[in-house]
Structure formats: structure tokens, C-alpha cells
Structure 1
């Protein structure tokens, strides 16, 4: 079953694992034709693929099997310590929160502490490391609005700090720990000191992107489904999380300039043979360019402008990436048109604006305008964006 699951794409995966199939599994448990142990093994395989690939199965939460597991979690949690099967409870929690979308507060209050306890173990051995990775992967699947601001902050902070000192987690587990933190508590301004200055998110994310990029075979042209290294999956998950973080975060310090530079390096490495990684890189840069808390100078200092212009001129550029590149410059242009009340800041903006214009002129941005003029209307209609058809405006405004 594991081998079959690895060969599936998202469409087939969703077609196979339906509400009807989960209902049938539940029926076979009731009739004692399937053991609970075997069902948990199957759900673990499904959960692993589902979480790593970020595919959601709506069939599970509508099925009677989901109801059975939810009831089992509640019942197992109520048992006395000497009667409780901790391993079973952990397995059930991991499967449930990885496959269920609309989690109840009651389930959250049971599963999150249970899995954080697993991830907090300090023993340095392969078994503990694997258990922590599985628990953190499951936790990273929880949607941000299901938790109260600051809830479980101390636990996840301890997990991250311990890894920074002892390097006890796998790279995939470390990415999952950060995702649990930044996507759940991003809107809480009081966490600025924790995320940015205490745990050094910008520095750590840049370091992880650089380390993970060394593990990827950038020259391998043919993608083999299910055969990606965990490091490659972790790299992709970092970029997907950064798309969200860089679009809305009000947290910023100088270490994020290094992070933008790391994204650019991965972008350049991925552009030939890793389309998905390349796409999430340009999406991260586009969102960062539109975030008023990310200074435009960050894109000048680390080659982001050059990298996006180079992408424009590639003959194999597809529609989605073409639009992301255009949005990058649209966002940068809009930012440069925002006049500042503070005279010192306004002077700095004008200097940056001139540097950006000089860089675009030096790299031949006029050719880019001409080459994209005819297809911009098509891209605009295809992606349902309401933007001016006069693409020149976005460059001329700079």
C-alpha cells in the first residue's frame, strides 16, 4: 500500500481515498474483518503522504471512520494513567489532525499537548528523532485560527531553542516546528521579540534554505514521484511557509536581507529542473516586495532584481511564473510611489528609487516590457487579476 500511495498524484489520491472508502473501512472494523492495528498502519501511510504533499482529504472528516477515531481519542484520554495506551493515543492523534480539517477545540486540547510531549523528548537517538519528526509534521498541519494566540508558545519555543543548541531534530522536523509557530502566532505583535530577536527566524530560515539546497540534485531533470529526498520536501515546505510569512508579517530585522538572498540563490539553482521549487521562490519574492515592512533595498542588495529579470528572458517561462514576475515588479513599483511624510525617510526612498531604476535600465528592462506587452492581457484574464493592461506603467512609475 505504501508503494501504491507513493505513485499517486494528488488527483488520483483524492479519487481513491473517498468518504465511501473510509466508511467501508469503518464497516470492516465493526465486522471484525479488519484490525484496528492494520487500519492505523494504512492511515499512517495516507497521513504521511497527505501532510508532506499538502493534499487535503475532505472524505475522511465526513466518514464514519473519522467519527470512530475522534471518539476513541476522547475515550483513551479519559482513562487513568495506568490504563491509558499512550502509543495508541499518539497514533490516533497524529492520524486524526493530519486528515481532519475542521478540528474541534476539544480535540485540539487533547492532541496538541500529547504531540508536543513527544516532540519535547530530549533523548538523542534515531527512534526519538523519528517520533519527534512525525509529531511535529502532524502539528504543522493545524490551521492557524484553531489556536488561541500564544497558546503552547512555551513548548514550541523550547523545542526550537533546544534544537538550535543541540541539533537534535531532523531538518523536516525543524521546519515543521517553525511552521507551527509562525503560521499560528504571526498576527500577535507581542511575539515579535520571540520570533525575530530571540529565536532569530530570519537567520535560521536562511541557514536552513542554504543547507537544504546542498542536498538537492539540481541537475536531475526527470522528477520521480514519491522519490524526493526529505531534504527536498523540507526545502519546499520552508518556501511555502515563507510565502505566507513574507506577505503579511510585520516582523523585520537585518537578518531578513540574508533570507531574501537565500531565496534568490535557491531560485537560481531551481530554475532549470525544479519547477515547483522555482515557483514558490518567485511567489515568496513577490509577496515580500508587496509587504511594506520589507525594505526595497533588500531586493537590491542580494540580486533579487537581477534574478527576476533573468527569469523574464527565459524562453521556457510558463504563464504562472510570468505572472509572478510581473507582480513582483508591480509591487515594487507601487511601493516606490508611496511618498513618505518623514523627510529623512522620503530622501531615502528617492535614493532607493533611483538605484532601482538604474538597475532595471542596466539590465535592459525595456526589452522585457516589449516582450510581455502582447501577452499581459491574456495573463490578466487567465489569473483573474484587475491590473492595468499598460504594463509599461509599472516600470515607468519606478
Structure 2
């Protein structure tokens, strides 16, 4: 078996068994077995996924392709589903980029790119580019000019049919695997990405996951190209679009069901989580305008209030985003207080079912907000505004019993610091606002 676990779950055992049978089947049987395997992948959790999809397995696929026991086109049916699941669930594994299959895919990309247009196999070229980006974790920089335009061409399809949209989503998810620190010029993507977003805003042709993915790609590119801020905010109206998408997704999630009752599908919940991660990146790095900040913070607070009883991971990302908003020097603390961010964090920290990481982020929010409200202002009008905000924050915290709540966590400060490797002040006064 290819799993490294001593004991296997039923899913991993059945999947491994089917994989072993692949090289002894004809092509029709191989397609059938891969279809069964793809269904099983949907039932996996992260641990099961990592135990099956090892370097050894990817090497075995490479060998089967090499000796013509598994056609490349059929192997891709499995590998695209593996990549899709890995990206959608945010599972980090580096087994593929340690395998010989990665080298084979890079060679195919190089070879196809060298061919004249009439000799290229466009379908294989697109499939290999998608698999390479979704399965790999460390891309060669020379892959970007070879693959990005190819994937954008697929993503630019304006068809609304379900099958066409599946191809668009895969292409956009593959592009999203390029990290924010991986730099390539805007000439490779900006025109196409802008057109994809604008066309959707007018015609609503993209699936929800596709629209989230195209925006996430754009926000990540901003981190290496600050000149994109005007396009993202003024031309493409990110704040307005994010608010609308979150509002629609909130209607689709079953907020009353607990984790154990929801199963593993949860498509809208997954997309909402991805939007929160995109928003968090935006809040961390953009110079937010007051009206846009109000829109985004209010949207996050609405999601938080829906999620706090049964959706811990969503709640965690909401609190994390509010904490990061407090840390962004372009955000006025009084705007956060006015918008209800402090109220939301207060509600959370006073709950009985808190986990340690959420406690940590709540305490960080108060420490950051308190510290910024204590900063000196040179401008007399700004100083008066800051003092008014401090007084309001103090009254609110006293009214809600926040000091008693924070004090109750004091003995945990050292433990939380050690567990999460971030600095958390041990001085109680750093979490309170004094006028």
C-alpha cells in the first residue's frame, strides 16, 4: 500500500486497492476505477489525503505513464481531482514536487511550448499546466510566462454552461496557487483578469467559486504591485463586490447545523471561508477609505454573528480579520469602534466555549487598539478626536465588564505566547483604555 499510516481508514484502503488495480485494466476500466477514486477523494479529510498521496504514489504514476500502463490523459483525470481537492481544502503537501512526475510535467510544458501552434495539443497543455500549479508548491519562475496566459485563456470563457464553468473554475484555482511572493509582470495577466471581472459584473456568468478565485488572484498580485490599488478599488469596486458576495453566501449556509451534522460537502461554506481569507489580505495591506472600511467591517461582523455558535473556523477568521484591521495603520481605531468591531470581539471573548487561538486573537485586538489609542497626536483636532474615542471605548469596556474578562485570562498569557509564538504583553494595563 502507498499509505504510510499503520492503520488505514476504509476510504484510504479502498482507494489504494483501486489504484493498485489500474495497471492491470484496459482503458475503459481504468476510467471507471478513477471515477470511483475521485468520488472517494471527496470523502477524505486532510490526514487521509496526506496518507494516500505520497511521493511514492506520484512516482508510481510517472512509471505507469512511462511504460504505457496508464495513458497520460487518464492519469490526468485523477490528478486534476487530487489537485482540486488539495487547493479547495487548503491542504499543504510537498510530495508532488519531490517526485519524478513533477519533472515529467515540466518537460511536457517546455516541449508543448516549443511546438508551433498547429502542432500543439492544447487540451493536454492546459491540463498539465493546471495539474502542475495545483499539485506543486515550489514553482520554477520560468513556468509563469509559459502557463499563465494559457490558463487565463481558459478562464476568459464567457459561457454559462455548467461544463464550461467547471473548466473556468479549475483554471482560476490553478492560477491562485501562485503565491503573492511569486512575482511576474502585470502584462501577463492584468488585461484578462480585469475583463473577466467586469464581464461578470455585467452578465453574472461566473460560478461563485470562480468569481472568488479571480478576485483572490487579483488581491495577491497587489502585494507586489501597489499601483493596482486604483484598479481594484475604483475601477473594479472590490468592497462593493465582496459585500454582495458575502450577503448572498450567508443566505446559503446552514448556520444552525453543528460541525458533526454538516458532512464534508459544504460548498457555500467553503467559498465563504475563501472570501474571508481574501478580505483579510485586503484589510491587512490596503489603504482603506472610511466608507469602504465600514462596508467590509460590517460584512465581517454580520458573518461572525451568524457563525459564532456552530462554525468555529469561520468565526476564527472573522476575529482574525478584525484584529488585523486594528493593526493596519491606515485604519482609524475610532472607525472600528464606531463600526462595531470592538462589540463583536467583546461578545466572543465572553463566551464560555472559546478555544485558545480565538482567546489569543481577541486579546491581541484589545492590546493593539489600546496601544493605538494611547499614541500621542500632534494635531489638536486629531488629539481631541482620539480622546473622545478613548472615552467611548472606556465606557463600553466598563459597561460590558471587559476588564474582568481579560483579567480572568491573565494566568494564560504565558501559555498562549508559548503555544502561538507571538508576543502577548503580560501587563494587564496594556489591554485597557485609560482616558
TM class by shorter chain equals over 0.9
Structure 2 match to 1:336:
373
Matched, 1:169 2:213: no
- C-alpha displacement of 1:174: 0.7
Which has the higher mean CA deviation after the structures are superposed, 189-198 or 159-168? Answer: 189-198
- The CA distance in 2 between the partners of 1:228 and 1:392, in whole Å, is 45
Structure 2 match to 1:45:
81
Matched, 1:236 2:273: yes
Which has the higher mean CA deviation after the structures are superposed, 311-320 or 70-79? Answer: 70-79
Structure 1 match to 2:231:
194
Query: Of 180, 186, 205, which residue of structure 1 is paired with 2:242?
Result: 205
- The CA distance in 1 between the partners of 2:140 and 2:285, in whole Å, is 26
- The CA distance in 1 between the partners of 2:139 and 2:282, in whole Å, is 23
- C-alpha displacement of 1:347: 2.3
- The CA distance in 2 between the partners of 1:108 and 1:225, in whole Å, is 39
Q: 1:294 to 1:172 in 2, by over 3 A?
A: same
- The CA distance in 2 between the partners of 1:181 and 1:260, in whole Å, is 20
Asked if 2 retains the 8 angstrom alpha-carbon contact of 1:196 and 1:252, the reply is no
- C-alpha displacement of 1:164: 1.1
Q: 1:392 to 1:340 in 2, by over 3 A?
A: closer
SS in structure 2 opposite 1:144?
A: coil
Asked if 2 retains the 8 angstrom alpha-carbon contact of 1:306 and 1:363, the reply is no
Q: Greater CA radius of gyration, 1 or 2?
A: 2
Query: Of 301, 305, 310, which residue of structure 1 is paired with 2:347?
Result: 310
Asked if 2 retains the 8 angstrom alpha-carbon contact of 1:186 and 1:249, the reply is no
Matched, 1:36 2:72: yes
- The CA distance in 2 between the partners of 1:228 and 1:203, in whole Å, is 28
- The CA distance in 2 between the partners of 1:381 and 1:391, in whole Å, is 18
Structure 1 match to 2:333:
296
- The CA distance in 2 between the partners of 1:61 and 1:364, in whole Å, is 52
SS in structure 1 opposite 2:117?
A: coil
Matched, 1:282 2:351: no
- C-alpha displacement of 1:252: 3.4
Structure 1 match to 2:116:
80
What does 1:140-151 correspond to in 2, within 5 Å? 140-148=176-184, 150-151=186-187
Runs (5+) with no aligned partner, structure 2:
1-36
What does 1:375-390 correspond to in 2, within 5 Å? 375-390=412-427
Q: Normalising by the residue count of structure 2, what TM-score does the alignment of the two structures yield? A: 0.87
- The CA distance in 2 between the partners of 1:335 and 1:206, in whole Å, is 27
Structure 2 match to 1:102:
138
- The CA distance in 1 between the partners of 2:370 and 2:48, in whole Å, is 42
- The CA distance in 2 between the partners of 1:105 and 1:386, in whole Å, is 35
- C-alpha displacement of 1:277: 0.9
Asked if 2 retains the 8 angstrom alpha-carbon contact of 1:7 and 1:225, the reply is no
- The CA distance in 1 between the partners of 2:283 and 2:135, in whole Å, is 27
Q: Normalising by the residue count of structure 1, what TM-score does the alignment of the two structures yield? A: 0.95
Asked if 2 retains the 8 angstrom alpha-carbon contact of 1:115 and 1:135, the reply is yes
Q: 1:149 to 1:296 in 2, by over 3 A?
A: farther
Matched, 1:64 2:111: no
- The CA distance in 1 between the partners of 2:314 and 2:238, in whole Å, is 21
The RMSD of aligned alpha carbons is 1.8
Q: How many residues align?
A: 398
Q: 1:339 to 1:54 in 2, by over 3 A?
A: same
Structure 1 match to 2:41:
5
Asked if 1 retains the 8 angstrom alpha-carbon contact of 2:390 and 2:433, the reply is no
Q: 1:122 to 1:289 in 2, by over 3 A?
A: same
Asked if 2 retains the 8 angstrom alpha-carbon contact of 1:261 and 1:302, the reply is yes
- The CA distance in 2 between the partners of 1:76 and 1:46, in whole Å, is 23
- The CA distance in 2 between the partners of 1:37 and 1:224, in whole Å, is 38
Runs (5+) with no aligned partner, structure 1:
none
- C-alpha displacement of 1:392: 3.4
SS in structure 2 opposite 1:228?
A: coil
